[in-house]
């Protein structure tokens, strides 16, 4: 199990992006969180289990019907200090 931090660029705030992504990732039983950042991007921290990183990326690319994802950057991060229950919107 690995933990990844994703930053999503594009039209992803005020278009229900967080709600759609959180619901899709909950259905896939992914743990982590999603939140808006001050610069207009969205941050997702998610656990990847059994190489499902491609599934997570597809959910992030799809987003909500009103969103438009221009780019996604991600990196593996240390999970030692993160606390979350399921997948949540912050």
22-76: per-residue pLDDT in tens? 999 999 989 899 999 999 999 999 988 777 899 999 999 999 999 999 999 999 9
Q: Which one of 5, 14, 18, 35 is the catalytic residue?
A: 18
Residue 69 lies in a domain: yes
In a domain, 44, yes or no: yes
Catalytic residue (choose from 36, 61, 71, 90): 36
Give the pLDDT score at 27. Answer: 92
Is residue 85 one of the residues assigned to a domain? Answer: no
Q: Is 60 part of any domain?
A: yes
- Name the more confident of 80 and 13: 13
Q: What CATH number did the domain enclosing 12 receive?
A: 3.30.70.100
Distance between terminal CA atoms of the chain? 22
What is the predicted pLDDT for the residue at 32? 92
Q: What is the pLDDT of residue 80?
A: 60
Q: Which residue range(s) make up the domain with 40? A: 2-80
Distance CA 9, CA 43 (A): 9
What distance in Å separates the CA atoms of residue 26 and residue 51, rounded to the nearest whole number? 17
Query: Active site includes 71?
Result: no
- Asked if the structure places residue 38 within a domain, the reply is yes
Residue 90 belongs to a domain:
no
> H/E element holding 44?
strand 42-48
The yes-or-no answer on residue 18 being catalytic is: yes
* pTM exceeding 0.85: yes
pLDDT band for position 87 (cuts 50, 70, 90): confident
Q: How many domains does the chain have?
A: 1
Tell me, yes or no, whether 88 lies in a domain: no
């Amino acid at each position: 199990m690995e933990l990844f931090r994703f930053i999503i660029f594009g039209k992803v705030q005020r278009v229900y992006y967080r709600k759609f992504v959180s619901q899709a990732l909950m259905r896939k039983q992914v743990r982590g969180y999603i939140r808006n950042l001050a610069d207009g991007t969205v941050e997702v921290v998610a656990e990847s289990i059994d190489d499902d990183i491609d599934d997570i990326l597809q959910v992030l690319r799809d987003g909500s019907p009103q969103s438009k994802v221009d780019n996604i950057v991600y990196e593996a991060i240390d999970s030692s200090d993160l606390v979350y229950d399921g997948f949540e919107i912050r």
